[in-house]
Amino acid sequence: MTSIQWHKICCPNTQLQLKTTLTGGQSFRWKTHGSAQGEFIGVFANIVWILKQTSSHLLYRIVGELPYPNEGNQDVMSETNHPVTVNKKRKTSAKANLAQIRLKAPEPDQYTTCRNLLYPLKYYEQLLRIYFRLDIDLAKLYRQWTTCHTHFEKNANQFYAVRQLDQDPVENVFSFICSQNNNISRISNLVEKICSNYGDKICEYDGMAYFNFPTVSSLAALEVETNLRKLSFGYRAKYIQKSAEEIIAKGDLEWFQKLQHLNYEDAHRELLSLTGIGPKVADCICLMSLNHLQAIPVDTHVFQIAKNYLPHLGKTKSISGKMYVEIGNKFREIYRPMSGWAQTVLFCADLKQFRKTEERTLSKTNDAGIKDL
């Protein structure tokens, strides 16, 4: 299934900076599309998307898709944000089969349809609105954060409209297990290996095959560790297989739904019980998938950023568990309920500076990048 034409959502570029949001270390499945300036191709919700933006709109094309959620799987986005909308006032359960949208869709004058897509266009628009959290006025948040600290004010102009993605927690867990002691390019390669070896093929486009992210059960089989080691995952292979096994034992996707409804501290503590999940990865999952927007993932970049707020860290070269908590609490004290989102903006600013340094020193190191402290 493909949609060769562009569709658009009203979204001023003051509310979304597409490039930094997609390539700033939140998701690892987006890349620039061909030679086109400002176009990105990537996968989420079993769909291969091409995205770009104008000053007033977010534009999207769909070049391949599979029914979502996966067979034998269920969507675990929060019920209040679920994209299967029967009407403006009533939404289906988070466990609903998305095929229902075709059975209960409103009249054509309410939804623009496209006959070669699986669902009405309103469905894809809703997915994008959820993914980019477009219901939140980001310009208002920036104004608030700018008054919180001069450090944010210095970075806000260049790194305007960086949005906090709302991602699938299963993909998020295993992607950030891959992130440990790794850089963004290598993380992306490992995530694609997981998808191509254990996911379902969505389509081929421009000579490339695209796959969805596999189910937890497909990563829990005992042979997964051996196979992933052969694919150069190293110690991460064990973490992936064991954590998948543990997630199933805890209740699989229903466990993730439970974590969304827990408070941040309890959800973070639950995630730490998984093999290979440390404080930073647990915070990434809380922030990027479970709507705990006060979570602060502290990696080497955030540690350096924190020295602007905690000067006594200036001479510290490594971080203890106590310091990890102190840094998170300081960000929460300054930036309040959505402090994790504010930290994402600052992270992107630091990451760009880091990338320039990495390009100059690439011949000297093979493993600079995102560290799980």
- Helix/strand/coil for 362: helix
- 315 assigned to some structural domain: yes
DSSP letter at 337 equals G
Going by pLDDT thresholds of 50, 70 and 90, the confidence category of residue 81 is very low
d(CA 366, CA 373): 19
Which of the listed residues 87, 116, 135 is the one where a domain comes to its end?
135
CB count, 10 Å around CB of 350? Answer: 18
The CATH number of whichever domain residue 189 belongs to comes to 1.10.340.30
* Continuous segment of H or E residues that includes residue 209: strand 208-211
Going by pLDDT thresholds of 50, 70 and 90, the confidence category of residue 317 is confident
Q: What are phi and psi of 204, to 5 degrees?
A: -115, 140
- Residues 179 and 253 grouped into a single domain: yes
Cα 349 versus chain centre, distance: 18
- Residues 72 and 173 grouped into a single domain: no
Which of the listed residues 109, 135, 161 is the one where a domain comes to its end?
135
Is the pLDDT at 103 greater than 90, yes or no? no
- Residues 266 and 126 grouped into a single domain: no
Instruction: Please write the tens of the pLDDT for every residue from 180-204.
Output: 888 889 999 999 999 999 999 999 9
- Residues 124 and 208 grouped into a single domain: no
d(CA 161, CA 42): 20
Inter-axis angle of helices 138-148 and 321-335, nearest 10: 110
Which is higher by pLDDT, 277 or 95?
A: 277
Catalytic residue among 280, 307, 317, 322: 280
Q: What is the pTM of this model?
A: 0.84
- Across residues 306-332, what is the average pLDDT? 91
Q: Report the 3 state secondary structure along 36-75.
A: CCCCEEEEECCEEEEEEECCCEEEEEEEEECCCCCCCCCC
- Residues 206 and 250 grouped into a single domain: yes
- Residues 323 and 216 grouped into a single domain: yes
d(CA 317, CA 304): 10
The CATH number of whichever domain residue 103 belongs to comes to 3.30.310.40
Structure tokens, 270? 């639950």
- Residues 81 and 128 grouped into a single domain: yes
Total count of domains within the chain: 2
d(CA 159, CA 156): 5
- Residues 331 and 185 grouped into a single domain: yes
Phi/psi zone of residue 162: left (φ > 0), alpha (ψ -120 to 50 degrees), beta?
beta
Count Cβ atoms within 10 A of the Cβ of residue 280 and give its class: 0-12 exposed, 13-18 middle, 19 or more buried.
buried
Instruction: Please write the tens of the pLDDT for every residue from 238-279.
Output: 999 999 999 999 999 999 999 999 999 999 999 999 999 999
- Residues 349 and 304 grouped into a single domain: yes
Instruction: Please write the tens of the pLDDT for every residue from 320-370.
Output: 889 999 999 999 999 999 999 999 999 988 876 544 543 443 333 333 333
Q: What is the pLDDT of residue 107?
A: 36
d(CA 258, CA 69): 18
- 146 assigned to some structural domain: no
280 tagged catalytic: yes
Structural domain including 277 reads: 169-359
Put the strands of the sheet holding 3-10 in their side by side order: 3-10, 57-65, 47-53, 40-44, 30-32
- Residues 111 and 179 grouped into a single domain: no
| Amino acid code (one letter) for 297 | P
Cα 319 versus chain centre, distance: 25
Structure tokens, 46? 């079993």
- Residues 181 and 122 grouped into a single domain: no
**Which of 75-84, 172-181, 312-321 has the largest mean confidence?**
172-181
